[in-house]
Each structure stands twice: as structure tokens, then as C-alpha cells.
Structure 1
Amino acid sequence: MLGRYPLRLDTKPHTRGSRKRAARRPADVGYDRAVASRSASATDFGTSIGEAYATGGAAIELGLGVHEGEVASAARVRVPLRMLNRHGLIAGATGTGKTRTLQVIAEQLSVAGVAVFAADVKGDVSGIALPGSDDGPAKKRARELGIEWVPAGYPVEYLSLGGIGPGVPVRATVSDFGPLLLAKVLGSNQTQEQSLSLVFHYADAKGLPLLDLSDLRALLTFLDSDAGKVELRGIGGLSPATVGVLLRSLVGLEEGGGNDFFGEPQLDIADLLRTAPDGRGVISCLELPAVQDRPKLWSTVLMWIVAELFEQLPEVGDRDKPRIVFFLDEAHLLFDGASKAFVESVTQTVRLIRSKGVGVFFVTQTPKDIPADVLGQLGNRVQHALRAFTPDDAKALRATVRTFPKSDFYDLEELLTQMGTGEAAVTILSESGVPTPVVHTRMRPPHARMGPADDVDGAAKSSPLHVKYATRLDNQSAREMLAARLEQAAPPPPGAPTTSERQKKAAEATGGGADAIGDFLKSSTGRTIQRELVRGLFGLLKKRG
């Protein structure tokens, strides 16, 4: 056999002038037409996709389009840099390449001078600081795509949740974290969530700093006492049963990383927006392997950081590039058991934060993990392969297909189950804000290491941020102020030691002596606090100018 058909030998003699062109068999004609049709189709595909994904400005290169199993060099798939604040979704089954896609986007953002924040749940994003292997799969993929590939590392800041595991400790005060996010971590129901909001309102009004969980415990205990119940008269009350549930929930949170995370010094959001001396954006990796078993805490902390960005950053409108792009890994955990108020706050944050120059990418397995109101705002979609082993899987697959635009080139239900590792169905918002056609994309490889870094702890301790955040602070807080009030309320026994100077100041801050804190709001200090302290989305503290 030679090629597609067997070699044919013509044994009949031909005389000069009498030779005639042999008639072609129908099979030959059909084959040639099929080849010509495929060639024309491939050309149409490359031209169509290339034009749809063309951009006049800087862009993030994702890969090349694939049509009928062949890579089309003209079908460059890219996201305009200025459209990354339209948010995105990176989805797919385990092992299909989501983390590598995150890495490819993060590397190019860094080169463009854009800061990046990534949750590193398994520890395999940390290698982005180091050059990739010159003889690994990345170089092979680059050859397949016909692109240049050079190993490279990128500027990285390693962070950790309260110092649990290697990385610069990230902390927040209870007051700044807010009642809505705290209720999510505690697994509170709607009644308990509302009760927490009342407690935070009281603490704000009385100038009681809730720095760590011991402050919240002390305040809950006080408000459940006879003196505390009087304080809440007129603004609502707390049922003893609710206080009991909250106090028990605090025990679990304290033992599950809460004592490490809550406290001071609190993370300064400006430290996430830095560039390296060479102009590349710093990639902040929150290292989470040590707290993988506490998903409710760390997933909510990620949303707190996004909300802090929203509350603190000024409006900048549409820019040529975002200030920071945030990757929320294992995003389904964020919405697991979430209250209606929580989901509404997430939706509002995602809707409004784009004007602050912030892009948010949710990373999860299927689009159905994301509430519809949030999903509808994710303009850039990278969907890796899905598996359909069970009836529930098949149902999820069909639901996923319905979230994509119609395709002239693919049967999407078939495509999503047949793509290989490192391939994805992509649709993004073009520069004009129009969704692009879905394209089967063979993704570009990362230039950095595709695996864990060697010495995360050493790199973190050599960072200037380690000096700023490593040592925990113990400032005056609600627990001491309440204790000082109670101590001054009761006459000391003869010979008892006098109140410390620090407790005297704490007592003065809350009214002192046996006087009730309830009149605090009527004082000049109380009125000043009311003017300055307000709470925004999720009940986070924000300053009002």
C-alpha cells in the first residue's frame, strides 16, 4: 500500500497521439474533495478565530486553536490585558491543567507589571519563582505550538495564614473581618449571623477594639450578663441560646487556626500591589498546604482580602491593565453553606470591584459551583475537560454546555469530555466587550517550574515583609477594657493591688468606674466614632472621609 490507495499499474500499450488521460475513479474524486474541504475548513477556522481574538493592545496569550485534531497557527487565542478586570473562570476536573493555566496567566501578568494574588492550596504554584526545566514537558508543548520557550522565574512573595506553615504571616483583626465573613467561618445560621452583626455594631459604637477571638469571647460573655443586657436595650438583644452557640463555635475556630489568623499586625493591602525593581508585578502566593484541612477558614479569608481591596482601593475606571488580578482557588468552598446575605455581598463585590482595577478569577471544577449571579459576571472562561462517569456528572456536563455560546465548529458536549490535559474550551470578552466564539485551545506552557519551590520558608524569612509581620502585637483591646470596667465597678478589698496604668486608660476609654457604657454614644468621642466608622460590604470596617 502506498498512501491511501494501492499503486495501480497500467499494462496497456499506448501509441503516440492516442494516449488519453485515464478516467479517475469516484473514490479518488471524493477523497480529493474531502482533502480540499478540510483544508478550506481549516483555513476558515484559523481566519475566523484569529479575527475574533485579535486585539489592538497588550494581551495575555493562552494558546492556539485546535480544529479536527490539528493546531491552527493562525488561531491565536488571547485575552486583552485591559479586559482582565472583567473577571474570569478557570474550571475543569482534577488533573486537567487548571493550575498550569493559572500559572501561564500569572506569569504574563507579572511581565506586564500587574500584581497577582494566588491561593496555593497544594503548594505547586510556589515553583513560579524558579525557572522551569529545559528538558521537561513545557519545552515539548512549546515545540508543538511552534513558539519560543525560555525558562524563567518570577518575583514572588510567600504568605501564610497566620504563620501556619512557611510564609509571611497574614492576619486580620476580628473587627476588620466583619460579622458576615465571621458568621461564614463559624457556620452560623441567619439568626446567629444577625446576632453577630448586633455585637459588632455595639463594639463599634462603644469603641471596643475586637482584635482577636478572646476579645469577641469576652464581649459575648459580657453582653449575656445582666449588665450587658441593659446595654443592648433599645437596639435589640441577644438570646442566651444564641450566645451559647456562638461561644461553642468559637472554641472550634480557635483550635482550627483562628487564634493564629486573628490579631495584629493586620495585612496592609498595599503590600499586595507591589512591583519588583525591574518593573514586573509581584506574585503573592498564599501557601495553604498546612491548612488544607480547614477550608472554611482559608476560603473565607480569601474573600476577605478581595473585600479589603474593594473597600480600600480608589475608583480608577477602565485602565489599560488591571492593578491586581486575584485567583480564588477551590472557589466552590466559598459558597458551600453560604447565607443569602453572604452570596449577595460576593455578587456585589464582583460587580463593583472591576472599577477599582481588580480582576477576580474563580478556579473550581464546574461552572455550577458558582452562583448564577456571580457566574454571569465572569467574562473570561477557560474550561478544561470534564468527566461524565455518573448520571450526576452527565447532568453537570449538560449544564456546563448551556453556559457557553453556541459553536459553529464543535459539539461542545462531546468536546468537553474529549480534551486532553493542557487543553481547554475558551471564550473571552473581546476589546469591544463581545463574547468570542468558543475555541478548543491547546494551552501554552508556563516558563517557570511546574511544581513546589525548594525553600519557601527561607525565601519568606528573607523578605522585608517578614520583619513587618512576623512578630505578633498585643495592643489594648476589648477584653482589657471590659475587664477594667468590671474591676473598677467593684470596690477592691483592703490591701488589694491597684489597677495598672494600662487598665486605667482602658477604663477611661469606656466611661470608667461603675457608670454604664450605654451613654457612650452621646459623648463627643462616641459621636466622632460614629462619623468615622462605617461598615461596607460583608460588614468590613472602612473609613469615611
Structure 2
Amino acid sequence: MSTKEKFIETIENGYSLKDDSILFGTAIFNGEPIPNLHIKMPLSTINRHGLIAGATGTGKTKTVQLFAEALSDKSIPVLLMDIKGDLSGIAAEGTVNPKIEERHQKIGVAYQPKKYPVEFLTLSEEKGVRLRATVSEFGPILISKILELNDVQSGLVSVLFKYCDDNNLPLLDLKDFKKILQYASNEGKSEIEKNYGNFSTTSLGTILRKVIELEQQGADKFFGERSFDVEDLLRLDENGNGVISVLRLVDLQSRPKLFSTFMLCLLAEIYQTFPEQGDKPEPKLVIVIDEAHLIFNEANKALLEQIETIIKLIRSKGVGIYFCTQNPQDVPASVLSQLGLKIQHALRAFTAQDRKMIKLTAENYPLSEFYKTDELLTSLGIGEAAITALNEKGIPTPLAATLLCAPRSRMDILTAEELNETISKSKLADKYNEIIDRESAYEILSQKLERAYQQSTNEISKEVPQVKFPQQTRQTSRRTEKSTAEKIADSPLAKQVGRTLVRELARGIFGILLGGKRR
């Protein structure tokens, strides 16, 4: 048996899947694709997560597009994180050209253009369905991890959440959270300490500064109502295709903390909401995270541990998570070890450090008698990748250099007009784009402070007698008025009112400067 025949036999045995599967392409041997030697992945192992990696310009985005299309065809909904803004073309039909026809002849399958059902989502001012969550839904533990608080500060956040629960003060958005921090630092300190124990106003100030930092990254647009229902990610269209939800994040590259905050919230919400799936023949939802380094590089240790824990557990809910990044080392080893599918596009070795990284990456793949993996990773062309997946029994398939299929949808972005037309047909926009600002902690505490101020003013008015001076003693009256004003100013009640008024004015000024505009 020749080496080529042995290679064909190995691939056929490794990828002879009985379960329903998705097709990636055909195997390559000695630089030449072998028609109909198809590289596939069973639907039953898609919830084991995966990695799509490779240098810039090697075809990662098109592989993400191909993967999402194949899942949609199998009635599996997909959520794509579109960091670069180049995935919108999935909503439009692709076009046939000689290069695509030649590629598919080598693969052994016909190319049929198709457009897919797409829902555009946004966290910011980008066009699309607005995603939001309330501060209460995050809870004190998650909020503390996001803000990188120490144990003392985290305990204080838990106390404030408990106080708000006990006193019917809804924490919906960041202005509610800031208001309770300000209230606890001043007027409400004695009240809260009486029932929940002493605390430091210095810690409250630190927490407030961290909240403002998060707010300046745009989190004020994310926290609030109406909260997004993760069940809306599980829709099918009228033809039974899974809806591909594209989360447009083009303007969040410079705000990684907001992105990682959203991702943690989304994964936690899915884990808490979705029922246990067990071993089902196909996943319930697949999430593809482009530019995954934005999550892991910017996440603090506590946040990273939380993400890792959820990723390890969420597959039991029928959810698969796929990371797309340039360097596989961007993904922590503890997460990388959980990934069943690995699609590795070409890596470039320009420096000694690059070569070391490639050798290290090669060690993450199954040993192959047909490839020198480190050499293979530097010799792959555009639209080619080294692939290994899990078969139905959870056993890694043989490593295979693969000529990938071309996406059936448009391999380019939508025009502004096409994007607007697609969004105008959204079935979720009316539900989530309405701005809701019901009475919550901010309004309730503001009213409470206003009542206290009015009461204090009335008490001062009652304490000060109304004295009428004769016209002939004007000079004496001025001296008497001055003496009376000094008396009022020196009273403890007046000092408290003055401090309260100054604080409220300062908050209003800084709220404007910090962009804390009420919705």
C-alpha cells in the first residue's frame, strides 16, 4: 500500500461519521486536494467547543462564515461576534466565479449560492437590536468581579444590594448603582450601618470610581431595560434554517472591558436559563467569538476564572463556544484543553519568537505520520487549514490539511442601504429598541433626599423669628440682621442642609461632565 493510499484509508476511517455532520472541505495530500475525501464534524460533538486560528489574511473570517452557514442549514441557531464588521454579507446571496467553481470541483461538491436569515444586534449606537441587562441581573458577585474589587469592597457591594432588596430600590442601570453608592457615603450611612454593620466611605469612593471607569467605556448603554431574553437567540426562520444573530461590535475594539463584561453576562445568563440537555444529537446554540484575545487579554484574574468555569460547564446546556483569534496562545491553556474542534489556518514565522510559537502550537494537535505539523502550519495557502475534530465517541480525528469550501453567502459586507433594509425587517427591534426608564433606586433616593431637604428648610424657618425693625433704627437693624444670620448659619441643622445642597449641586455638575445623561 502506497503512502497516499494509506493516507486515504486513515482519513476515511477517521471521518466515516454515522451521525449527521457538517462539511468543511476535502483533505490535501502532498499539496494536492483529493476530491470527495471529505473532512466533516458530527453535530453531536459541536457542543464540545472549538478554535479557529491563523495569521491575518489566511481566511479565518470566511471559515467562520462557512461554519455558521453549515449550522444554519442544520437548523442550529448561531450567534456571531462581529468585531471587524465583515460578517454582514451572510444576509446576502453569494456570487459564482471561476475560482469558486474550480475550488468546489476539487472538493467534489457543487457550489450553490444562498442568503441566510440574519438578525443584527448591538451593544452601542450601531444599528441593530439593542442588547441590555440590569445591574440586579448581574448581582453583587459578578459586578464585583467586573470592577476588580477586593474582598472588603465586594462585601460592601453585597450589603448595598441587600439594602436595596430590603427597601424595594430596583437597581436597573448604572445611575441607580451610583446613586446608592453616593447615598451610602453621606445621608444614608447611619441608616445602613445601623442594620448592616459599619463600613468605610473610602471603599465606597473606590467602588464609585471603578463604576465611572466602566461607564466611560459605554456600559451605561448596556445596563438598563428592557433586558434581552436569551431565548430570542434560538429562533428558526420559516424555512427551518437557524437564525444567525450577528452582534456588531466594530466600535468596541477600544473598549475591551465592556466587551468582556457583556460576554460574561451573556454566558452566565445562558447557563442559568437553558435547561440541561444531556447527550443530544445536535447542539441548541453555537456562539462564535471573533478576536477572542479581547476577552482573555483584558480580563482580570477573577473574571477569567469565571469565564473558564462557565465554558467548562455550559456544554451540558447544549451550547458550543468557538474562539476565533490570530494566535492560539491567546486562549488560556485551561480553556484550550476543553476545545474539541481545531481549525488552524497558516501561521507566519518572521522572528525566532514566531518559530517557537509555531512549534508550541504544533504540539496541540494529534501526531501524524503524514505531516510534519510545524512545517504544515507555515505552508498552508489561503482557504486551507489543518483540522482535527471529535468523532461520535469523542475521539480526536486524524489531523488533515483541508481545502475548505467557499461560503455560500456573500464574501463581502452589505451596503448601508442593504443593512438598513435588513434591520427594518427585524422581528425583535420593536421589542428591544424602546427605551424604558421606570422608577428605580435613582428616582426613589432622589425623592427621599428632596423630602429631607424640604423638611429641614421648614424646620429652620420655624426656628428663626420674624423680627420687624422700626424705620428710625436702620443702622441698628442691619447689625441685628447680621447677628441673626450668623445665628442661623451656626445652627447644626443649617449646616447639614448646606452640605446636602452643595453635594446635590456637585453631583449634577459631575454627572454632566462624565456623560451620565439620564435616559
- Provide the residue aligned with 2:406 in structure 1: 445
- Measured in 2, the distance between the counterparts of 1:45 and 1:54 equals 14
Structure 1 residues 256 and 421, CA, compared in 2 at 3 Å: closer, same or farther? same
How many angstroms apart in 2 are the aligned matches of 1:341 and 1:187? Answer: 8
The letter of the residue matching 2:21 is: A
Structure 1 CA distance for aligned equivalents of residues 223 and 240 of structure 2: 33
- Alignment equivalent of 1:139, drawn from 98, 101, 110: 101
Given that residues 53 and 325 in structure 2 are in contact (C-alpha distance below 8 angstroms), is that contact kept between their aligned partners in structure 1?
A: yes
Residue of 63, 70, 80 corresponding to 2:25? 63
**2:217·2:257 contact (CA, 8 Å) conserved in 1?**
no
Please tell me whether the aligned partners of residues 44 and 281 of structure 2 are also in contact (alpha carbons under 8 angstroms). yes
Letter of the structure 2 residue corresponding to residue 271 of structure 1? D
Structure 1 137/489 Cα, relative in aligned 2: closer, same or farther at 3 Å?
Answer: farther
Is 342-351 or 414-423 further displaced after alignment? 342-351
Question: Taking structure 1 as reference, are residues 181 and 397 closer, same or farther at Cα in structure 2, changes over 3 Å only?
Answer: farther
Structure 2 CA distance for partners of 1:338 and 1:196, relative to 1, 3 Å: farther
The equivalent of 1:107 in structure 2 is 69
Residue number in structure 2 paired with 1:329 = 290
Count of aligned pairs: 457
- For 1:371-520, list aligned pairs within 5 A: 371-454=332-415, 455-489=418-452, 492=455, 493-494=457-458
> What residue in structure 2 maps to residue 284 of structure 1?
245
CA gap 1:216/1:416 in 2 versus in 1, 3 angstroms:
same
- Give the SS at the match of 1:363: strand
Q: Which residue of 2 aligns with 1:270?
A: 231
Greater shift after overlay, 183-192 or 404-413?
183-192
Q: Secondary structure at the match of 2:299?
A: coil
* Counterpart for residue 117 of structure 2: 155
Q: Which amino acid aligns with 2:296?
A: F
Q: 5 Å matches for 1:224-235? A: 224-225=185-186, 227-228=188-189, 231-232=192-193
Distance 2:309 2:114 in 1: 38
CA contact (8 A) 1:223 1:238 kept: no
Q: What SS is found at the alignment partner of 1:464?
A: coil
Q: Distance in 1 between matches of 2:361 and 2:162?
A: 42
* In structure 2, distance between residues paired with 1:220 and 1:468: 31
**CA shift for structure 1 position 77:** 0.8
Q: Which moved more, 1:339-348 or 1:103-112?
A: 339-348
Instruction: State the 1:301 CA deviation.
Output: 1.1
CA-CA distance at 1:200 after TM superposition:
3.8
Q: CA deviation at 1:392?
A: 2.6
Give 1:411's aligned amino acid.
Answer: K
Greater CA drift, 202-211 or 350-359: 202-211
Change (3 A) 1:229 1:53: farther
Q: Read off the aligned partner of 1:59 and give its amino acid letter.
A: S
List per-residue Cα deviations over 1:305-352 (Å, max 9, x = no partner). Answer: 122111101112111111110111111221224333322222221122
Is structure 2 residue 183 aligned with structure 1 residue 222? yes
Check the 8 A contact 1:430/1:436 in 2, yes or no. Answer: yes
Is the Cα–Cα contact under 8 Å of residues 189 and 339 in structure 1 kept in the other structure? Answer: no
> TM-score scaled to structure 2, two decimals?
0.82
Q: Structure 1 residues 452, 201: CA separation in 2 closer, same or farther (over 3 Å shift)?
A: farther
Cross-structure match for 1:6: none
Q: Distance in 2 between matches of 1:176 and 1:284?
A: 22
Q: Distance in 1 between matches of 2:152 and 2:371?
A: 49
Mapped contact 2:214–2:257 kept (Cα < 8 A)? no
Aligned twin of 1:166: 127
Name the CA shift for 1:183/1:418 in 2 (closer, same or farther; >3 Å).
Answer: farther
Looking at structure 2, the residues matched to 201 and 65 of structure 1 have their Cα atoms a distance apart, in angstroms, of 59
CA RMSD between the two structures = 2.5
User: Any conservation in 2 of the 1:346–1:374 contact (CA below 8 Å)?
Assistant: no
Contact 2:136–2:172 under 8 Å retained in 1: yes
If the length of structure 1 is used for normalisation, what is the TM-score?
Answer: 0.78
- In structure 1, the residue matched to 2:34 is 72
Are 2:233 and 2:245, in contact at CA under 8 Å, matched by a contact in 1?
Answer: yes
Q: Give 1:141's aligned amino acid.
A: R
Match of 2:90 among 124, 128, 131: 128
1:106 aligned partner, one-letter code? A
